[in-house]
Chains A and B, each alone.
Chain A
Amino acid sequence: MNFKVFRKYKLEIIFAIVVVVFAAVFLIQNAHIQATAKPGQETWQGSDDMGSAAIESTGYTPWIQPIWTPPSTEVESLLFSIQSGLGALVIGYFFGYYRGKRESVKSA
Chain B
Amino acid sequence: MHIMEGYLPPQWCVFWYLVSAPFIIYGVYILNRQVKENRETLSLLAVSGAFIFLLSSLKLPSPVAGSCSHPTGTGLSTVLFGPIITCVLSLIVLIFQALFMAHGGITTLGANVFSMGIAGPLLGYAVYRLGKAVNLNIFVNIFLVTAVADLFTYVVTAIELAVAVPLQGGFVFSFETFFAIYAITQIPLAILEGVLIALVFKYIIQSRADILVKLGVLTQEQVTKIMGSFS
Which A residues are closer than 8 A to B by beta carbons? 7-8, 10-12, 14-15, 18-19, 22, 25-26, 28-30, 33, 43-48, 50-52, 54-55, 57-58, 60, 62-70, 76, 79-81, 83-84, 86-91, 94-95, 97-99, 102
Contacts and interface: CB of A to CB of B under 8 A. Distances in A.
Interface residues of B, number: 73
Nearest to A58: B167
Interface of B: 1-7, 9-10, 43-44, 46-47, 49-59, 61-69, 93, 96-103, 105-107, 139, 154, 157, 161, 165-168, 177-178, 181-182, 185-186, 188, 191-192, 195-196, 198-199, 202-203, 207-208, 229-231
A90 B47 contact: yes
B101 A79 contact: yes
Contacts of A88: 50, 54
Given A26-B61, A63-B10, A91-B54, A8 B69 contact: no
Contact of B53 (A57, A66, A69, A86): A86
Most buried by A among B3, B52, B54: B54
B61 A44 contact: yes
Given A63-B10, A65-B6, A44 B67 contact: yes
A64 B103 contact: no
A80 B203 CA distance: 26
A70 B230 contact: no
Contacts of B105: 64, 66
B68 A47 contact: yes
